[in-house]
Amino acid sequence: MKVISIDPGTGRLGWAILEKKEGKESLIECGCLETKAHTSLEIRLELIYEHITAKILEHKPDQFTCESLFFATNAKTAFDVGAARGVILLAAQKAHLPISQYTPLQVKSSLTGYGQADKKQIQFMVTKILHLKETPKPDDAADAVAIGLTHLFRSG
């Protein structure tokens, strides 16, 4: 099974492609799409949609997953990230991919067994589980990998 996983955001969007074969999880590719700070939301959303669609076409995943909850310090950030999640989910739906969503608590629990784990603990587990030489960078990419691992663990 191959999955594309997304850590949603408008300024920085983490993404990862993972695969599970014969009971073993592996990272195919991950990264972070960054959009310029003073770019209009409409253009940022178009860039996000096009990027996700291109990754789906390139890697042909079987499933799609993303983080379902986010925390924002202000309403504008919350609305903008909500809009980004909308175009992300639209890209997955238009590709006819089964969509799963996980809360940060579910991701932390799946990787560490502890729902209050911090970012460093999650990154350590991502690196250890996938036998990587170093933690995926930046943090948004590592978060997307963690979300993808959670899906692979939970979907058998």
Complete domains list, the chain, with CATH: 2-154 (3.30.420.10)
134 is catalytic: no
Q: Label residue 74 by pLDDT band (50, 70, 90).
A: confident
Q: Label residue 96 by pLDDT band (50, 70, 90).
A: very high
Q: Which of 7, 25, 80, 143 is catalytic?
A: 7
How large is the average pLDDT for residues 55-63?
A: 98
Q: Which of 25, 67, 80, 143 is catalytic?
A: 67
* Nearest-angstrom CA–CA distance, 84 and 41: 9
Query: Looking at residue 106, what is its pLDDT?
Result: 95
pLDDT digits (tens, 9 = 90+) for 85-95: 999 999 999 99
Query: Looking at residue 70, what is its pLDDT?
Result: 59
118 is catalytic: no
pLDDT digits (tens, 9 = 90+) for 16-56: 999 999 999 999 999 999 999 899 999 999 999 999 999 99
> For residue 14, what are the contacts with CB-CB under 8 A and spacing of at least 6?
6, 7, 30, 31, 32, 138, 139, 140, 141, 142, 143, 144, 145
pLDDT digits (tens, 9 = 90+) for 113-144: 998 999 999 999 999 999 999 999 999 999 99
109 pLDDT exceeds 70? yes
The structure tokens listed for 5 are 């996983």
Q: Which of 25, 80, 140, 143 is catalytic?
A: 140
* Nearest-angstrom CA–CA distance, 152 and 156: 6
How large is the average pLDDT for residues 67-77?
A: 73
Taking 3-state DSSP, the helix, strand and coil percentages for the chain, each rounded to the nearest 5, stand at 50, 25, 30
Query: Looking at residue 69, what is its pLDDT?
Result: 65
Q: Are 63 and 97 in contact (CB under 8 A)?
A: yes
Sequence-ordered alpha helix ranges (H) in the chain? 41-59, 75-94, 104-112, 119-129, 139-154
* Nearest-angstrom CA–CA distance, 127 and 90: 30
Would the pTM of this model clear 0.85, i.e. be above it? yes
9 pLDDT exceeds 80? yes
7 is catalytic: yes
Q: How many CB atoms lie within 10 A of CB 128?
A: 11
